[in-house]
Amino acid sequence: MANFFNRAFLGAAEKDEVTPSILVVGTVAFDEIETPFGKTGKIVGGAATYISLSASYFVKKINMVSVVGGDFPADVIKSFQKRGIVTEGLQILKDKKSFFWKGSYHLDMNNRDTLVTELNVLADFDPIIPESYQDSDYLLLGNLTPMVQKKVIQRMKKRPKLIVMDTMNFWIESARKDLDEVLTMIDVLTINDAEARELSGEFSLVKAAKKILAMGPKYLIIKKGEHGALLFHENHVFFAPALPLEDVFDPTGAGDTFAGGFIGHIAQTEDISFANMKRAIIFGSAMASFCVERFGTERLMDLTEEEIDERLQEFVDLVQFDISLVD
């Protein structure tokens, strides 16, 4: 079996002994999920949770910034720490409740209804960056109000090598001015196809990408769920499919898991070239394909390198073809 994962990992370790670090900002929360396959009770979710767990398979130091209430289980925080996630920047507001989202998916899994959203601790979230996080090499801003995302960038004394940001339709509609400003401060924007259309006012994703790249980001990743992801940069475009699975059990967190694998691979290899971003998209897609196999974060807690290698090989088999070139 080919061993993609180890190769990159050892490669980074051999290069020097400095461990690259990723600052992850986003929600750590409770979710309650209904899919055609079943229901969960209250389980752990949130963008920063999925991003951090996914990225933790690639680098040893994930600096998490988020906020939870006194109701958040201490043993979950310990399980984060076990996976190399630093929780110094995870604020715990003892008298408040954690952010809660409840949603229900349709059969096609590309559509969902939000049943409950309780902001709780998120209402006045002030993202405090601990001093020990200031040397973070890479920054991933999970979906949060653009104002909070901006604060994080401003509070970094040294600009990270790459800033990746996620957002959603809610902010496009309700905080457009702030969003436009943050877009000028970042390197990579990740959004889904509907959001790309809304942000640009263009139905064609190619036209949408041109307009969005003109707003600030140098790279744009458009996530299309089961239909894969597109990476745009200048006049280049790269496409990675989602792995065709027998069952998509629960898509919650798939986009964040994708983003975690993406930034994880980039940090691990310390290479922000376009060629390496293509590989990062494949790593992100592989991680997302695990996420959807079980409810919540279950599948992300104890993946092995062999499993990840095997999954990457499936992606290679899925899309690689050989057309010999005659120059």
- Closest to its own copies by CB, 13 vs 319, is 319
234 part of the interface to its own copies, by CB under 8 A: no
Sole binder of its own copies in the list 39, 78, 155, 227 (CB under 8 A) = 227
How far apart, in whole angstroms, are the C-alpha atoms of residue 122 and residue 106?
A: 27
Which of these ranges, 123-131, 164-172, 204-212, 293-301, lies near its own copies under the rule CB under 8 A? 204-212
Residues 281-300 as x/- pattern, contact with its own copies by CB under 8 A: xx------------------
Sole binder of its own copies in the list 204, 214, 273, 301 (CB under 8 A) = 204
Q: If residue 173 lies in a helix (H) or strand (E), which one and from where to where?
A: helix 169-174
74 part of the interface to its own copies, by CB under 8 A: no
Distance in Å, CB of 237 to its own copies, minimum? 6
How far apart, in whole angstroms, are the C-alpha atoms of residue 108 and residue 213?
A: 30
113 part of the interface to its own copies, by CB under 8 A: no
Report the site for its own copies in 89-108 (rule: CB under 8 A).
107-108
How far apart, in whole angstroms, are the C-alpha atoms of residue 102 and residue 114?
A: 6
CB 209 within 8 A of CB 229: no
- Quick one: angle between helices 254-269 and 274-291, nearest 10? 140
Query: What is the torsion angle, in degrees rounded to the nearest 10, for the CA atoms of residue 145, residue 147, residue 152 and residue 155?
Result: -170
305 part of the interface to its own copies, by CB under 8 A: no
> How many residues of this chain interact with its own copies, rule: CB under 8 A?
46
322 part of the interface to its own copies, by CB under 8 A: yes
Q: Residue 125: exposed, middle, or buried by beta-carbon count in 10 A (0-12, 13-18, 19+)? A: buried
4 part of the interface to its own copies, by CB under 8 A: yes
Sole binder of its own copies in the list 51, 186, 205, 259 (CB under 8 A) = 205
Q: Is 68 helix (H, G, I), strand (E, B) or coil?
A: strand
Task: Label residue 228 left, alpha or beta by phi (over 0 means left) and psi (-120 to 50 means alpha).
Answer: left
Q: If residue 32 lies in a helix (H) or strand (E), which one and from where to where?
A: strand 29-35
- Closest to its own copies by CB, 95 vs 203, is 203
Q: Which two tokens stand for residue 243?
A: 């792995």
Distance in Å, CB of 248 to its own copies, minimum? 8
Query: DSSP for 227-246?
Result: G-EEEEETTEEEEEPPPP-S
Provide, for the chain, the percentages of residues in helix, strand and coil under a 3-state DSSP scheme, each rounded to the nearest 5: 40, 25, 35
**275 CB-near residues (< 8 Å, 6+ apart):** none
Sole binder of its own copies in the list 115, 123, 245, 301 (CB under 8 A) = 245
Distance in Å, CB of 250 to its own copies, minimum? 14
Which of these ranges, 43-51, 66-74, 133-141, 316-324, lies near its own copies under the rule CB under 8 A? 316-324
Distance in Å, CB of 19 to its own copies, minimum? 22
131 part of the interface to its own copies, by CB under 8 A: no
244 part of the interface to its own copies, by CB under 8 A: yes
3 part of the interface to its own copies, by CB under 8 A: yes
Sole binder of its own copies in the list 114, 203, 234, 302 (CB under 8 A) = 203
CB 109 within 8 A of CB 37: no
Q: Site residues (CB under 8 A) for its own copies?
A: 1-4, 6-7, 107-108, 203-207, 224, 227-228, 230, 236-241, 244-248, 275, 278-279, 281-282, 312, 316-327
